[in-house]
A and B are shown apart, each in its own frame.
Chain A
Amino acid sequence: MSDVAIVVVILYVVWVAATVANQFHSWCPTWLRALDIFGLIPVWTFFAPNPGMTDYYLLYRDCLLDGSFDNWRKVELKPSENGLRLAIWNPAKRKQKAFSDMVSALIRLANERKVEALIVTVPYILILNFITSRPHSLGANSTQFMVMEHGGFSRDPERSRVLMMSGIHRLH
């Protein structure tokens, strides 16, 4: 075996070991995650052990000139239902996944930090920035967003609940 081959094999062994270590959060040292600047150490725990079993929706409403609130308006991230077409071509999944990542990050950050610090986190600002650029009501100067958790096609009358709600933010 050549020297190159030996180095490559060692690299692969270390890589697989890092992958194994990265599978379970409590095993994985934080320095390992921090070193993974290229995103090459994968996580293979798909939908488990704690799967997301609800839908997240992003809604916003505007604060009108008289101080009252507008209706909640849903941001459409995923326009179509899954089916044959989306089995081949599904660009919307990126947006939906990105939003889900932001919500997960916010929940996690909220668990670890004081809530008032959340407004300077990237996921919060990303969502607010995104909402700011959506169409807004006539004469509205400020807005507010909400993340709602919804049980999908469940018929349970209690299938929705508010997961998080922002404060009021100026549009300009």
Chain B
Amino acid sequence: MDIDTAYALIVILASVGVFIASVELLTLKREFEDGGLFSWDVLRTVSRATLSVGTGRPRRIISHPFFVPALTGARALAALVLIIVRNDHALSTACVLAVIAASIVMYWRAPLGMDGSDQMSLITFVAVAIHKLFSGDVHVAQASLWFIAIQGCLSYFVAGIAKVVSPVWRSGEAVRRILGTRTYGSSRSASFVSGRESMCVALSWLVMLFECTFPLALAFGERGFAIFAVVGILFHISNAVIMGLNTFVWAFVATYPAILFCAVSIRRAF
């Protein structure tokens, strides 16, 4: 896979996730108003820094009912442009920077309710932005792809190790109980895992095995990558259906083109 194709795929996949996340936030407009879960009247008192920003004219702007919709709407629009328009370098650079800026401002506005997909998307977009700002430099392009790939692999590896050191994960109890919650499970998943301790243990160890070995996706060229990619996509789709983690699919699969690029590079080098 060449560098340009890798970046094109990364941008499209990550932008779909950001678009969905942004439109979801648009529907939560009320929660950013007075009395909402993310009321600025309260959140501006997180620290002295936010308090000093949140007074006078900035406060009127931030607490205006259109502020969050405008911000998230702009982010959604930028993501949509990135999905549709691929040949305009200046426009795509501007849109990538807009996504980053809007994401950071939203983080400051409401540092609550964010998850791993938000983190991965932001990191991916920053790396893409660095590449686009120095698009003539092939080393910057490669370094950014390597960075995305490493962060992608690190995310799976750390998640796996954190589970391996946990007694509730090793015993399968975590799988049984998490899938039995209403937040991250459903009545179907709860009845499926109920009374099936060995299934929970097996599932638990499969997840840990997959996550801990994911960095090996870099080690065996295209074929090795393909196996991990297929399992990874199925893993994320399952998490989306069972646990409602819809944006994780796009945010993490967006790192796969970078991982493939690096896997091929390593294979060629050896």
Contacts and interface: CB of A to CB of B under 8 A. Distances in A.
Q: Are A and B in contact, CB atoms below 8 Å, in the complex?
A: yes
A55 B182 contact: yes
Contact of B158 (A45, A83, A101, A151): A45
B219 interface: no
Given A89-B246, A154-B180, 18 more contacts: A2-B139, A8-B134, A16-B151, A19-B154, A42-B120, A46-B162, A49-B162, A51-B166, A52-B181, A53-B173, A53-B180, A78-B182, A82-B186, A83-B186, A86-B240, A94-B25, A98-B37, A150-B182
Interface of B: 20, 24-25, 27-28, 31, 34-39, 41-43, 45-46, 104, 107, 110-116, 119-120, 122-123, 126-127, 130, 134, 137, 139-140, 143-144, 146-147, 150-151, 154-159, 162-163, 165-166, 168-169, 173-174, 177-178, 180-187, 189-191, 194, 237, 240-246
Contact of A53 (B154, B156, B157, B178): B178
Interface stretch (A60-68, A126-134, A140-148, A160-168): A126-134
A122 interface: yes
Interface of A: 1-2, 4-5, 8-9, 11-12, 15-16, 19-20, 23, 38-40, 42-56, 78, 81-84, 86-91, 93-102, 122, 125-126, 129-130, 132-133, 150-154
Contacts of B38: 98, 126
Contacts of A39: 104, 107, 111, 114, 119, 122
A129 B127 CA distance: 38
Contacts of B245: 93
Contacts of B155: 42, 44
Interface centre among A44, A50, A83 (most CB of B within 10 A): A44
B116 A46 contact: yes
A48 B162 contact: yes
Given A44-B155, A82-B184, A90-B24, A129 B39 contact: yes
A95 B113 contact: yes
Contact of A133 (B35, B111, B163, B189): B35
A83 B241 contact: yes
A5 B143 CA distance: 8
A100 B173 CA distance: 21
B246 A87 contact: yes
Contacts of B246: 86-90, 93
B191 A153 contact: yes
Contacts of B46: 122
B174 A53 contact: yes
